[in-house]
A and B are shown apart, each in its own frame.
Chain A
Amino acid sequence: MTTPLALRVMEVQARVYRRIWRASVVTSFVNPMLFLAAMGLGLGSLVDRDAGRAALEGVTYLEFLAPGLLAATAMQTGAGDSTYPVMAGMKWMRTYHATLATPVGVGHLTAGHLAWVTVRVGLVSLAYVIVMVGFGAVGPVRGLAALAPAMLTGLAFAALVTAYTAQLENDQGLSSLFRFGIVPMFLFSGTFFPIDQLPGWAEAIALATPLYHGVELARGAALGVGTAAHPLVHAGYLAAIAAAAGWLAARNLSRRMLP
């Protein structure tokens, strides 16, 4: 029902991106290089000694870390692209108002935005995978297999953050989102170390975060190992969040834009 006009919304975002992609391309490649060099190789040289290696079930820290960072980057891209750009559409540039003055409805607008952000996450993740392959953290085939989990993670966060941003009056709430939401998840959801290292209560919280499930899926795909639960459970969890948050995002945008 919302397909064709949602595609138009996507097309417009792609046109804008075509003019500004250069600004993001360097970050997309340099960021993973810095992280994989410092943490994967540098810190990893300590972790890989003695007991560390056993705890990671025989893979190097670089191999363990890289897919986790891939999912975490997908989270950051999906979330980031749903903060200031959404604010700009609603309030600063008001382009959403222009869009909604046409036959395009709020459902198309939300779906088109989320679809485009998912494509963007795919592009950023592809850059990450190329760097991972360059570092020898993963083979090309398994690396590409990890793209789908990354995109699903990005979509789930894009939907959540769009729903959140849509009901904000100004951008102050956006820095709190990163300080109290995104950054703690980045650190404690299994990206840097297995969550069973956390105290029990913290592990329970980590289990509930969408990032944990994205990391499990990405790591399973990249390393070719089993995941904590069946992959479909992790994927289903993320898909359910994406669907529920997507619905909420459309509702919040509708309240905000069509009072």
Chain B
Amino acid sequence: MPDPLVAARALTKKFDDFVAVDTVDFEVRRGEAFGFLGPNGAGKSSTMRMIQAVSPVTAGELTVLGMDPAADGPKIRARLGVVPQEDNLDTQLPVEENLLIYGRYFDLPRPLIRERIDELLDFAQLAERRKMVVEKLSGGMKRRLSIARALINEPELLILDEPTTGLDPQARHALWDRLYRLKQQGATLIITTHYMDEAEQLCDRLVVMDKGKIVAEGSPLELIGRYSTKEVVELRFPIGVQETVVDHLEDLAKRLEVLPDRVLLYTDDADATASAVHAADLGPEQMVERRSTLEDVFLHLTGRTLVD
């Protein structure tokens, strides 16, 4: 197997007394889409910043593209693409000039930058807006431009920190489509997200992070198989009723999660479980049958939901 693009061993980041990343181990291989799934504050962004060589490692080992970020920061950054959590485009400049200045930071010759700008604007579906000042773009367009900008140096590794946070569903899907294309072209992606559907859609492999630690690792399907059942029945009860019926639900499912607003019944056969709930006549206001997701994995591992 070829050397991993990123390898971390006992990687730790502290800010004064606060441990943001706590002795984590992971490897990102060439050509895969690797995810960091976890709630806000889990340590995902701190990990990303260490990989980008813009934040010193406190303890442990980290190699990126075979190099040490402490010693070879500029060389590493020259071969990375970064789509930040918060847009940091130059909003006073037009779309194409944002790409041009970024190419210049990478010291690329102008004719090459011009060539790539044309390709990247097509890819980002922004060709018609190339002269438009960035301030006037929609949120989804700005994100697509951020991705295009991150590709100007043809990076070996593209890091996307919460790429679709704050976007409407349509813009999210448009963005996923672009990322899916990149994946098919063989790009290596690292994606952080607190959306389980995003992780399921895009990631070949992922780690689940919570409070600075990695609590599980695998493909989305492996994780669901390991930490959840195939299917879930969600029940909502009228106010005040849930507490009184929980005891009766225990026997109807393999496992139960009681949330403030609903009860989740983990089962391998949702239809059968739903029938049993009906038969028990417990009077749920609402009953939904669904597949297990990474959200259920996270809930099982941490006892909390991903999005508060």
Contacts and interface: CB of A to CB of B under 8 A. Distances in A.
Interface stretch (B88-96, B168-176, B252-260): B88-96
Interface string A102-121: 11110000000000000000
Contact of B107 (A8, A15, A98): A8
A93 interface: yes
A19 interface: yes
B105 A104 contact: yes
A259 B55 contact: yes
Contacts of B78: 102-103
B107 A11 contact: no
B289 to A, nearest CB: 44
A232 interface: no
A95 B73 CA distance: 19
B173 to A, nearest CB: 26
Given A16-B93, A103-B107, A97 B84 contact: yes
Contacts of B82: 101
Interface string B24-42: 0000000000000000000
A124 to B, nearest CB: 19
Interface residues of A, number: 25
Most buried by A among B78, B93, B104: B104
B73 A94 contact: no
Contact of A101 (B52, B56, B93): B52
Contacts of B107: 4-5, 8, 103
Contacts of B92: 16, 19-20
Interface string B62-89: 0000000000011101101010101111
B268 interface: no
Contacts of A101: 52, 54, 77, 80, 82, 84
Contacts of A16: 90, 92-93
Given A15-B93, A259-B15, A259-B55, A103 B88 contact: no
Interface in A9-58: 9, 11-12, 15-16, 19-20
A105 B52 CA distance: 12
Contact of B105 (A8, A20, A94, A257): A8
A78 B102 CA distance: 26
A100 interface: yes
A255 to B, nearest CB: 11
Nearest to B106: A102
A98 B15 CA distance: 22
A94 B88 contact: yes
B102 A102 contact: yes
B54 to A, nearest CB: 5
Contacts of B153: 102
A16 B104 CA distance: 14
A19 B97 CA distance: 11
Contact of B77 (A93, A95, A102, A257): A102
Given A20-B92, A259-B55, A98 B84 contact: yes
A98 B89 contact: yes
3 nearest A-B residue pairs (beta carbon)? A94-B88, A102-B105, A103-B74
